[in-house]
Amino acid sequence: MGTAWKTTVLSLWLVCILSKCSAEVRGYKYLSYSEIQESLQNAAKRYPRLVKLDSAQEVFDLPSVGKCANKQGLQEDCKIWIVEITNWDTRLKDSGRPHMLVSGEVHGDEVIGPQVAVEFMDLLLSNYGKDEKITSLVDTRVITIVPTTNAYGYETQTRGERQSDGEQELDPNRDFAFDQDPDLCMRTVAGRTINELFLAHFYRILITFHGGANVIGYEWGDTAHCRSRRCTLAPDNLAMVKLANRMRDYAGKAGDYESEYKVGDMGSTVYPVNGGMEDWGYGASWNDRIKCSPRTLGGYDLERTDYSDGSHRCLSYLVETGMEKRPDEQKLGTNEEPLVTGGRGDGHVPRNLRLLIAAADALEPYVALNNVTVDSDSLSCTWYVGGAFTVPKTRIEATYPGEKYKFTSHMEAGNGSFPYAGKMHMFSRSIKVRTSGSVYLRAVSIDTDSDLGKNSTSGEPQSHFVRSRSDPDWSYEINFSRVQGSSVFQSKTIHVSLDTGEKLDDDGAGIDWDELETQDGDALDEPQDDDYDYVGEDDDKKPPPEGSEEENETDQDDSSSDGRPSWIRYAVPAGASAGGLLLLALVVQAVRSRRYSTLQDNEYYDGDSEDLEDDEMPLRRYP
């Protein structure tokens, strides 16, 4: 092998650092209903290829409740705005993209969530094409954001939904078809909005923001599964706990204003309720089927709560954002380092942006080639598996143009990676190759998170989140939303010249890898323990299993030794200094080496567009 560094993404690091330093620092503030509405409309105009905006009243033909002030101060019908973010240019070609739903609030006086929801939208859109990982999230996920699910409650700063002056408030979070009387569910517009969204999507993760405690809660939280605040384990408890812990760890504290989130089932960390959104989102289509027959707002079609088997299998998290429902505005934090745990300007908004990023990243496993180096008759690769917790088997697969076989490296095993928090478990292999011509290459992860799919003491896992990554026979489809289980995940195929080491334009789209005969490749120069620094871990050991006590001990410090923000850390050459790495980056930019890095030379749409008139605003029409 040559002496080329194993991995480096300094060009990306320098871009990120410079953009953070030059960006104008602003403090987050509380937005009014009209300011939220204006932010959403501006986003739809500026990023028409990434954003679809609609209201529940227009797309679902739901009634309006109450009057809200627009930016001119005039009263108009309150609308529940719905934003969907993905790469719409490629959406119809990829019906299997995983879906996630974010509800900013259902209790109108719990107001941190709406600010987080709007800022999350802005974070995804403004960083598209500028940040590799954010761009990948938008390209490979569908994220629905409802900043003010209880719009009138938010406008009037009241907990429930008041449907006419003087009427008693109805609690939207007691309004769902789970552990509830049929005539006491789907009485609110807020509840019906979320119901219609679940009928149009197969969501894998739901995050619903509240206030008044400091908790990340998961199922169960209903009175049927909980007695004296002790609840039975949900069938997907292992996945629920692992994801909750990851969200908690990356979210961290809200600056100096709130301690780290407490994690547990909702029944014990908060209290059991009837008709809660979270239990309904997880189990309404398989555990507790109820058809609602409300008499409010002209009634609601009984068939709208006659759910299909696959509609409600979503890991649903109640996030109680803090002990204060409306803390002082300064406690919201700033945009200086929102994705750095404990970074400058930390507060309630940044920590929950990190929580949402952790959830979106985990929606589905993915494999990323990090670096490919050609040297004489060998080809060296580094890669990682993201969106996952455990990686039992992973390897490199390669084939030559026109061949009927593929050759593979030996299997590796390790942890899943979470790039934002610097938890990178990099896999590395070298294989013999021809000395000229070209080769197609990809990395594959097999049986990813297979432990999540094993039966628990409470039964077989039921969620799309678990079964989609463990059960190849798991299959549901509705409209343009499909869930297809798989035990194998692979990176994009790249085509590399063995003469120059550069990436070729042909991406091997016509290759049917499954039809190629497998031949084991020769593994050369297997990496030794000192070939890599596992950033964020002790130098003398590989990463401990995620969730173990050992991992919790090593993860306390979220900043690397050279002071770089933790969310952009990657594995770096052992013993390299910051100055040496900077010099190396400049040399790499100046001299063409025989290397292809998947994190370089990517082109993205920048999101800018000409101003559109209001009546030209793109709308999402649900089938």
Cα distance between residue 114 and residue 103, in whole Å: 8
The residue extents of the domains of the chain are 31-361, 366-448+487-591
Handedness of CA 529, 531, 537, 543 (dihedral sign): negative
Report the run of H or E that residue 130 belongs to, with start and end. none
Specify the pLDDT at position 228: 82
Question: Which residues have CB under 8 Å from 139's CB, separation 6+?
Answer: 86, 87, 90
CB 280 within 8 Å of CB 185 = no
CB 524 within 8 Å of CB 430 = yes
Report the run of H or E that residue 194 belongs to, with start and end. helix 189-200
Tens of pLDDT, residues 256-310: 999 999 999 999 999 999 999 999 999 999 998 999 999 999 999 999 999 999 9
Tens of pLDDT, residues 185-210: 999 999 999 999 999 999 999 999 99
User: Tokens in use for 564?
Assistant: 């770089």
Cα distance between residue 460 and residue 469, in whole Å: 14
Residue 602 has pLDDT above 60, yes or no: no
Cα distance between residue 139 and residue 155, in whole Å: 33
Which residue blocks in 270-311 are alpha helix, DSSP H?
Answer: 277-283
DSSP string, 343-357: -TT-SHHHHHHHHHH
Which residue blocks in 60-141 are alpha helix, DSSP H?
Answer: 88-91, 112-126, 132-140
Q: Are strands 203-210 and 315-322 parallel, antiparallel or unpaired?
A: parallel
Specify the pLDDT at position 166: 63
3 state SS of 174: helix
Report the run of H or E that residue 207 belongs to, with start and end. strand 203-210
Domain 31-361 and domain 366-448+487-591 have a common topology: no
What mean pLDDT is reported for the chain? 83
Per-residue confidence at 590, pLDDT binned at 50, 70, 90?
very low
The candidate with the shortest Cα–Cα distance to 324, out of 482, 448, 213, is 213
pTM of the complete model:
0.83
Per-residue confidence at 480, pLDDT binned at 50, 70, 90?
confident
Specify the pLDDT at position 377: 86
Specify the pLDDT at position 167: 74
CA dist list (Å): 304 to 13, 171, 281, 383: 49, 20, 14, 45
Specify the pLDDT at position 215: 99
* Residue 561: exposure state from Cβ atoms within 10 A (0-12, 13-18, ≥19): exposed
Tens of pLDDT, residues 425-462: 999 999 899 989 999 999 999 999 999 988 777 889 99
* Fold adopted by 366-448+487-591: Immunoglobulin-like (2.60.40)
3 state SS of 381: strand
* Residue 548: exposure state from Cβ atoms within 10 A (0-12, 13-18, ≥19): exposed
Specify the pLDDT at position 170: 97
Residue 15 has pLDDT above 50, yes or no: no
**Which range scores top for mean pLDDT: 20-34, 218-232, 519-533?**
218-232
CB 118 within 8 Å of CB 39 = yes
Specify the pLDDT at position 583: 39
Tens of pLDDT, residues 498-513: 999 899 988 888 899 9
Compute the C-alpha angle 252/256/259, nearest 5°.
Answer: 45
Per-residue confidence at 13, pLDDT binned at 50, 70, 90?
very low
The candidate with the shortest Cα–Cα distance to 485, out of 506, 464, 509, 511, is 464
Tens of pLDDT, residues 33-84: 999 999 999 999 999 999 999 999 999 999 999 999 999 999 999 999 999 9
Q: Give the position of tokens 């060009």.
A: 11
* Fold adopted by 31-361: Aminopeptidase (3.40.630)
For residues 467 and 404, which has the higher predicted lDDT (pLDDT)?
467
Residue 8 has pLDDT above 60, yes or no: no
Percent of the chain with pLDDT over 90: 70
CA dist list (Å): 178 to 81, 231, 236, 300, 312: 25, 16, 18, 16, 11
Query: Using DSSP, how many helices (H) and how many strands (E) does the chain show?
Result: 15, 27
Tens of pLDDT, residues 497-552: 999 989 998 888 889 998 998 876 543 333 333 333 222 223 333 444 444 444 44
The candidate with the shortest Cα–Cα distance to 130, out of 11, 24, 40, is 11
Per-residue confidence at 231, pLDDT binned at 50, 70, 90?
very high
The candidate with the shortest Cα–Cα distance to 188, out of 201, 205, 171, 167, is 171
Residue 604 has pLDDT above 90, yes or no: no
Residue 17 has pLDDT above 50, yes or no: no
Specify the pLDDT at position 506: 83
Crossing angle of helices 132-140 and 348-361, in 10° steps, is 60
Over the range 445-468, which residues count as b (16 or more CB within 10 Å of their CB) and which as e?
bebbbeebbeeeeeeebbbbbbbb
Report the run of H or E that residue 82 belongs to, with start and end. strand 81-85
Residue 311 has pLDDT above 80, yes or no: yes
Residue 575 has pLDDT above 50, yes or no: no
